[in-house]
Chain A
Amino acid sequence: MNSVSSTILYIFAFFSVYVQVFFLFTFIENRKKIVIRKGVTKLAKYPGVTVIVPCWNEEGTIYKTVRSLLHLHYPQDKLKIIIIDDGSTDGTWHALKKFSGYSNIKVFKKENGGKYTALNLGLDHTTTEFVGCLDADSTAHPEALVRIMSYFERDATIMAVAPSVVASSSKSFVQKAQRSEYYMSVYTKKMLAFMGAIHVTPGPLTIFKKKVFDDLGKYRHAHNTEDMEIAYRMQKNYYKIEQCNDAYIYTNTPPTAFTLYKQRLRWIYGFINNTIDYRDLLFKKKYGNFSTFTVPAGVISVITASFFIGRILYNIADFLYSKFVAYQTVGFDFSVNIFQFDFFFLNTKALIFLTLMIYTSVFFSIVLGRRMTEGDWRVSFDLVLFFIVFSFVAPFWLGRAIFNTLFSRKPAWR
């Protein structure tokens, strides 16, 4: 039993190392193509862009979000903003009234029906060639849109461009931990873009050609992860998705472990279920690296993490049981064992070295992600927090997402 479990563990460890090496290899191959623009970007032509801002109870953040859109370095007559109040019960509608005087802003109020319904209402009113969404808890860097649009100008085959989403404020230690994680996802997203294999077009300001929705249909509920489903649908139809690493969108991150858990539960549940829905895309040569790398790597990471968690839980249960047996047999042991470090008892199994390799690779992903967004090589203490917070909280959302999938329970949005 133990040896079977070890063999499975080593197989998963092999795949996990493989994924990390694949990313590093892609980075080395394409490192010269990664550019960070500092000044003002100019375009030959400024096509019309509509940004839809769906909001539900966002009275605290909506003003800043819309202000950031108005401050974008993009001709205001080419930029349309559609704000949809999706049945808010707080002061969101009141906050939106401040923008009633802007000719390029349209505000709608509807009954609460979920984010995808708000986006679809926005799409119904979109008349421009390009369309995107900006979550009401995010703000855009003034150069973000023009940098994104420069990708479309350069390559006419591109159908969507995702930005670099970075964590805005980092007050609590949970937010500090996420800061590092967001850097890592900038890195992985860019590498996936080089492979033509992006699996999510995030809510904070991914810009699409309107043609995408005209051809493939509007947003779907998609297990509360409509931004993932549309990417899967685009991959299925060979639509090219790019990532613009120097288009920064600052997003509010969950401040506590519980809110982080709720958010990630929704994401992982969405990943598992969208993958199940699009399972016919797996290992089909015609769908490219998305089919042979992105989705399998995601599936492997979910299985590996679940297996690790299972083992850890088993070990904890085993430890507690042995303590219980010890208590039953000899009573409480009050003697204090003075810890003496002895190299001999240090675990030197191959798995430990493989885990170290994976951790080192994750460390470099974060450092490279930061380099790709902020342009510096600094290593912050947040990185340590990332390893601590995610090691403790991830098992819970992962376990719950699998449980929910197996027993068909849908996680709430918040």
Chain B
Amino acid sequence: MELSSLWDLVIIGILRGGMYALMAMGLALVFGVMNICQFAHGEFYMIGAYMAVFALKVFGLNPFLAILLAMVGGFVVGVLIERGIFYPLRRRSQEEWVMNTFLLTVGLSFVLQNLALLIGKARYRGVPTYWKGTIRISPTMGVSVDRVIGFLIAIVTIGIFGLFLRRTQMGRAIRAVSQDERGAMLVGIDLDKIHTLTFGLSTMLTGIAGASLLPITQAYPAMGAGPLVASWFVVILVGLGNVGGSIIGGFVVGMLQTFSYYFLGAGWQDTVSLSILILILLFKPSGIFGTEVKGILER
């Protein structure tokens, strides 16, 4: 294999990894703060994509505004769902919370997917390109501008979100809740508000991912499955609830998938990734960057 094509693979892996990082960050956040294992994460990716299609086709907005709309839409839908489903459950019973909410999100994913099928029908919707043109990155390969801008959007979002978590009052409150819920409550943080906000933010991040990748993966009801698996993979790899680690993990998984796809082809790709994951968990059950976040081994 030539060195240049190896280089191409690295670039593809990085571009792919940016989006995984964005999505996995939301997943990690929701687990860290709310102890929810989000299984409907892919459906918010789908909602983001549909929002963008809607904005482009109906309002004829430009791509940046479409992505912005998907971002706002993702946030709103997330907030509504948190208030409508998780809030009542939290009120009723905290027993077996992790397992119950996991199954709840399974049901949610089922509902959202079929709702999309009902409204959008089983059709691929999308746009050929947001921005025309390709950028030549090496003599053998060019990358479309869409991919590069999508990647930049991911990086910028991750950056802004990181600043938000570190520098603002609200971001600090979110981190406080993820570290110690009772302590956070004692210093006067409104837990319900933070939970709702966190869920909304996580679905917002996913919505952005879905919308900015629209030229590459068109919108259809079951489109969330792939990104869902990938972001879960990242989160398990770096340790559940580790937000910072999931950024690096996103790139690692992006690379891993690109390389195993190139060398082994589809099908074996999943098996290889799975075997690596099992090996890691055998030796380090808390993930590669795992600190003991809320107990990985049995309680």
Instruction: Tell me if chain B binds chain A.
Output: no
